[in-house]
Amino acid sequence: MDPSYTNASGADSVGAVSTRAFLQQAVDHYPRLAAFCFMLDLPYRETINEYRALILRFHTEVWQRIGEYSYQRQQARRHSPPTILRWLWEGASAPGCNMILLMNLNTLGEGYHSPLNDNSLQDMNEMLCNAWLAVSDASYNAVTKLTTLVINRAGCGTFLSPFNQLKTRVQAMESPVVMGRTGTAG
């Protein structure tokens, strides 16, 4: 499986419309969506293209690790459907880059009606940290400010507040905001 990316960027109203559409597509695709919001501490690079390449390597590494995680869960006879990873991130430059990873909550959870448990959150946190360490050659954990939002379209009273929190986080990102999709993991 080769991850594929579709990118869009913009700092004007067209960008805002694209961002809203991107979020809506993620919610429409997965009734139970997990949003992992975090900051990457970026090592110094000479050019913007080097930052972009580093971020795309990070996305690929996370995609591979989630695929392995899903495979291990399936081998243990635990529910873990394939998922498309959807990314939003600020234009890359030092010292940090805010990112949001959107994915199917059921890939990490115990089943359709179960909540995301602490073990799954810890597994995801470790995957993100280890993926960043692998691609950035950092000697310390440079994934910070990790927050998880669970957006559940199917649950009563579990959609609007977390979805609004997600929209607020996206709107607070510095322009340009870049959007991408990584192929199916799992």
pLDDT digits (tens, 9 = 90+) for 50-69: 888 999 999 999 999 999 98
Give a yes or no: residue 145 inside a domain. Answer: yes
Give a yes or no: residue 186 inside a domain. Answer: no
Query: Can you give the pLDDT at residue 117?
Result: 66
For the residues 119-140, what does the mean pLDDT come to? 86
Give a yes or no: residue 1 inside a domain. Answer: no
How many structural domains is the chain composed of?
1
Q: What is the overall mean pLDDT for the chain? A: 81
* Alpha carbon distance 164, 159 (integer Å): 9
Integer angstrom CA distances of residue 148 from 32, 71, 145: 13, 23, 10
Phi, psi of 5 (to 5 degrees): -120, 140
Give a yes or no: residue 7 inside a domain. Answer: no
Query: Can you give the pLDDT at residue 186?
Result: 64
Q: Six-digit token pair at 125?
A: 């946190």
Give a yes or no: residue 3 inside a domain. Answer: no
Query: Can you give the pLDDT at residue 112?
Result: 52
* Alpha carbon distance 173, 145 (integer Å): 14
End-to-end CA separation in angstroms for the chain: 10
* Alpha carbon distance 58, 69 (integer Å): 16
Task: Count how many Cα atoms sit within 13 Å of the Cα of residue 77 in the half-sphere of its side chain.
Answer: 0
Query: Can you give the pLDDT at residue 57?
Result: 94
The answer to whether the CB of 123 falls within 8 A of the CB of 62 is: no
| pLDDT tops 60 at residue 118 | yes
H or E element in which residue 132 lies: helix 118-136
Coil vs helix vs strand at 79: coil
Give a yes or no: residue 38 inside a domain. Answer: yes
Query: Can you give the pLDDT at residue 1?
Result: 33
For the residues 28-33, what does the mean pLDDT come to? 86
Give a yes or no: residue 35 inside a domain. Answer: yes
* Alpha carbon distance 51, 57 (integer Å): 10
For the residues 101-108, what does the mean pLDDT come to? 88
- The parent domain of residue 116 ranges over 13-180
| pLDDT tops 50 at residue 155 | yes
Q: Six-digit token pair at 11?
A: 């700092």
Query: Can you give the pLDDT at residue 3?
Result: 40
Question: Does pTM surpass 0.75?
Answer: yes
Higher pLDDT among residues 17 and 94, named by residue: 17
Amino acid identity, position 102: L
Give a yes or no: residue 27 inside a domain. Answer: yes
